[in-house]
Amino acid sequence: MFKSLIEKNEKRSQLSMMAQYLNTCFMISTIEHEYLVNIEKGVVKNVEEGPFVMPSYVFKLTAPKNEWIKFLQHTPQPGSHDIIAMLRRKVLKFEGDLHPLMSHLLYFKLLLASLRPAESKNEN
Amino acid sequence: MKIEKEPISGQYGKFKIDGIDYRIYWEEAGQGIPLVCLHTAGSDGRQYRALLNDKKILEKFRVIVFDMPWHGKSSPPENAQIQNYKLSTDFYISQIMSFINGLELLKPVVMGCSIGGRIILHLAINFPDKFRALIGLQSAGHLDPYYDISWLHRQDVHGGEVCGGIAYGLMAPTSPESDKFETMWHYMQGGPGIFKGDLFFYKFDGNIGNEIKKIDNSKCPIYLLTGEYDYSATPEETKSLADTIGIEMIKMKNVGHFPMSENPKEFLKYLHPVLNKIS
């Protein structure tokens, strides 16, 4: 689900500039599946899919898979269009050292939104 | 080279607010019924640029937008210190009334968004006879904190970046990117701790409980409009507020928390009929 964060790197050169001093490793969890995302100088260098025995990461974003699917629609519905909106609905949890996330909030929002399809499909 | 001039003029003036002098900046355009517009927390009056340029509105209304003290081009008071800014309900009411009295506006319409959408409820409770009508954009009676606002003012996090990041998500994915960017840009230009200081009013001091029941719509008509993508003041919360007051709310499609600046074209479709009723 989040492996393609790597493939989209080339289209995100502007975005990487927004986080050119950021080096971090964070986890995205769909509860059933976990993804460790490694970022160096604002570029996604590696996405590893679990299961993990002893994963090491700085912060973690956890939401059920169906909520991530709603977030990743071309035009998400209200309440699913932003990670803080999901936090407000209590379907997404932020955990760990949130400094890298909050100091690069727009970057992370746009990074995750970059997985949305460019064209609108039947989203029902 | 010919430039495209806008009908907006800006001015500075000194206003006494709670006994202290403040240098306030405001912009205005049009003539007729005074329509005072209140910007959102951590931003400034530029949010209303579309209204200040809307020929249809300017035919009947004198649109006036001031930057709150500490915001935009309005200065902090003399001898102010960073860290000390916290917007209280009383101070917010005082600055609005000082501005209206200072400009000698008789029975203006006041329209506010977000914190402005909250303060118009306080105005409706306390001074219903002073206004021709009140318009609340993204109004809710109260808001429980849903994220840690201390992130908005820390020396190890760039305030402009984080405030912009917060504001960006409050807008609809369907709003034009150029308008969203400008709306976010205003947030990126706020002073340190100002957005957070405004949220003290929005999430704590300005919360209204049962007092909402004191609002009498027959004394001063109230109109409530909320964008469907707003998760700060949700359409459901505005609906609950409207039900308590006994009025209808208008849910605006394809906009979020900043209708007037993130998608003015869409917003004006909803605002024109409201202003027609008022005029």
In chain A the domains, ranked by start, together with CATH numbers, are 3-113 (3.30.1050.10)
Nearest CA in chain B to A102: B162
C-alpha span between A90 and A66 (Å, rounded)? 14
Is the pLDDT assigned to residue A53 strictly greater than 70?
Answer: yes
Percent of chain B residues past pLDDT 90, beyond the cut: 95
What pLDDT digit, counting tens, does each position of B9-39 carry? 999 999 999 999 999 999 999 999 999 999 9
Q: Answer yes or no: is the ipTM higher than 0.85.
A: yes
B241 in a structural domain: yes
Nearest CA in chain A to B174: A75
Provide the mean pLDDT of chain A: 93
Q: Are B152 and B199 spatial neighbours (Cβ–Cβ below 8 Å)?
A: yes
Q: Which residues of B touch A107 (CB under 8 A)?
A: 165
B186 in a structural domain: yes
Peptide bond before residue A51 is cis, with ω within 30 degrees of 0: yes
Min Cα–Cα distance to chain B from A107, Å: 8
What pLDDT digit, counting tens, does each position of B102-144 carry? 999 999 999 999 999 999 999 999 999 999 999 999 999 988 8
H or E element, residue A19: none
The pLDDT, as a whole number, for residue B71 is 98
Min Cα–Cα distance to chain B from A7, Å: 23
Find the CATH number of the domain harbouring B111: 3.40.50.1820
| Average pLDDT estimate for B161-177 | 98
C-alpha span between B218 and B165 (Å, rounded)? 40
C-alpha span between B136 and B207 (Å, rounded)? 15
Which residues does B143 contact at the CB level (< 8 Å), separation at least 6? B202, B203, B207, B232, B233, B237
Is the pLDDT assigned to residue A121 strictly greater than 90?
Answer: no
Is the pLDDT assigned to residue A39 strictly greater than 60?
Answer: yes
Domain count, chain B: 1
Residue B62 dihedral angles phi and psi, to the nearest 5°? -95, 100
What pLDDT digit, counting tens, does each position of B65-111 carry? 999 999 999 999 988 887 779 999 999 999 999 999 999 999 999 99
C-alpha span between A46 and A32 (Å, rounded)? 20
Judged by CB atoms closer than 8 Å, whether chains meet at A82 and B158 is answered as: no
Residue B145's pLDDT band, with cuts at 50, 70 and 90, is confident
B42 in a structural domain: yes
| Average pLDDT estimate for B251-264 | 98
B270 in a structural domain: yes
The pLDDT, as a whole number, for residue A14 is 85
The pLDDT, as a whole number, for residue A7 is 75
**Nearest CA-CA partner of B267 in B140, B166, B135:** B135
Judged by CB atoms closer than 8 Å, whether chains meet at B231 and A84 is answered as: yes
Nearest to A79 among B146, B161, B231 (CB): B231
B3 in a structural domain: no
Q: In sequence order, which ranges of A59-104 are alpha helices (DSSP H)?
A: 65-71, 83-88, 99-103
Best mutation target among B170, B195, B229, B255 (most A Cβ atoms within 10 Å) is B229
Q: Which domain holds residue B75?
A: 9-278
What pLDDT digit, counting tens, does each position of B221-239 carry? 999 999 999 999 999 999 9
The pLDDT, as a whole number, for residue A6 is 86
Is the pLDDT assigned to residue A100 strictly greater than 50?
Answer: yes
Least confident span in A7-11, A31-35, B36-40? A7-11
C-alpha span between B83 and B228 (Å, rounded)? 34
Nearest CA in chain B to A84: B169
Is the pLDDT assigned to residue B178 strictly greater than 70?
Answer: yes
Judged by CB atoms closer than 8 Å, whether chains meet at A99 and B157 is answered as: yes
C-alpha span between B112 and B130 (Å, rounded)? 16
C-alpha span between B174 and A81 (Å, rounded)? 10
C-alpha span between A37 and A18 (Å, rounded)? 17
Min Cα–Cα distance to chain A from B240, Å: 18
Nearest to A81 among B164, B165, B229 (CB): B229
The pLDDT, as a whole number, for residue B80 is 85
Which residues does B226 contact at the CB level (< 8 Å), separation at least 6? B137, B138, B139, B233, B234, B235, B237, B238, B249, B250, B251, B252
Q: Are A69 and A95 spatial neighbours (Cβ–Cβ below 8 Å)?
A: no
Nearest CA in chain A to B159: A103
Nearest to B147 among A75, A87, A109 (CB): A87
Is the pLDDT assigned to residue A124 strictly greater than 70?
Answer: no
